[in-house]
């Protein structure tokens, strides 16, 4: 199988943006008054789970996905479980998602989770270390193993024994069960967002 990409990922960011963003999105977001009753239940559940006030606009990417409310419900059930109720500390979760987004070539996911990561304590210096990968100097052994797990899952669809054993020194069984599901869930999201050509916020630096 593939060799994990544990170092800096060099690629043509502008070309990738043209490929997966282009003139997108491919579908227009629904207005809230166009959302089906089933979809509105999910809007309410997401606002409650993530403490999103009623006067804050609902994300366009979600309003596009709500064209398929049943699918969106399944996607959000997993998302809420992993992000709002998950046992992996939020800062570490965001480090893993950022490395995944970079390896998946997912500009929207990367840019969104730069913002989210900073809200949970990820520093600008750590974002640079995420770009450098699990081999970068500056990570703790636990953090390096977490990023390495992402890299291995992306390359080989499996966490290697040495990485698992390192993570298991600090994570309990519940957290270990979450790691591959977290990576898989956000990879699925990257597939969707890239294919829908969801645009990142203006002014964000995508590597």
Name 194's Cβ contacts closer than 8 Å, sequence gap at least 6. 20, 104, 105, 106, 107, 108
Domain count, the chain: 2
> 102 and 50 in one domain?
no
- Is the residue at 65 inside a domain? yes
Can you tell me which residue has the tokens 């020194």? 169
Reported as a single tens digit per residue, the pLDDT across 42-72 is: 899 888 988 888 888 888 999 999 999 999 9
> 180 and 119 in one domain?
yes
* Percentage of the chain lying above the pLDDT 90 cut: 82
Residue 128's pLDDT is 95
Reported as a single tens digit per residue, the pLDDT across 172-188 is: 999 999 999 999 999 99
The span from the CA of 123 to the CA of 135, in Å, is 18
Q: Which domain holds residue 37?
A: 14-84
Sign of the torsion angle spanned by Cα atoms 79, 105, 112, 66: negative
| Final residue before a domain boundary, out of 25, 52, 84 | 84
Tell me the average pLDDT of the chain: 94
């Amino acid at each position: 199988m593939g060799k994990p990409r544990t170092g800096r990922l060099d690629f043509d960011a502008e070309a990738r943006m043209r490929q997966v963003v282009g003139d997108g999105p491919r579908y227009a977001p629904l207005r809230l008054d166009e959302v089906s009753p089933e979809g509105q239940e999910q809007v309410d559940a997401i606002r409650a789970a993530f403490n999103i006030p009623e006067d804050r606009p609902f994300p366009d990417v979600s309003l596009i996905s709500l064209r398929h409310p049943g699918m969106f419900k399944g996607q959000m059930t997993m998302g809420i479980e992993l992000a709002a109720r998950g046992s992996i500390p939020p800062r570490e979760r965001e480090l893993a998602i950022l490395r995944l987004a970079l390896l998946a070539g997912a500009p929207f996911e990367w840019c969104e989770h730069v913002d989210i990561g900073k809200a949970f304590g990820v520093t600008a210096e750590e974002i640079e270390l995420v770009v450098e990968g699990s081999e970068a100097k500056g990570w703790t052994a636990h953090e390096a193993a977490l990023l390495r797990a992402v890299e291995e899952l992306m390359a080989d669809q499996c966490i290697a024994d040495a990485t698992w054993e390192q993570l298991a020194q600090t994570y309990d069984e519940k957290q270990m069960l979450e790691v591959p599901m977290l990576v898989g869930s956000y990879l699925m999201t990257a597939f969707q967002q890239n294919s829908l050509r969801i645009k990142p916020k203006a002014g964000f630096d995508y590597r």
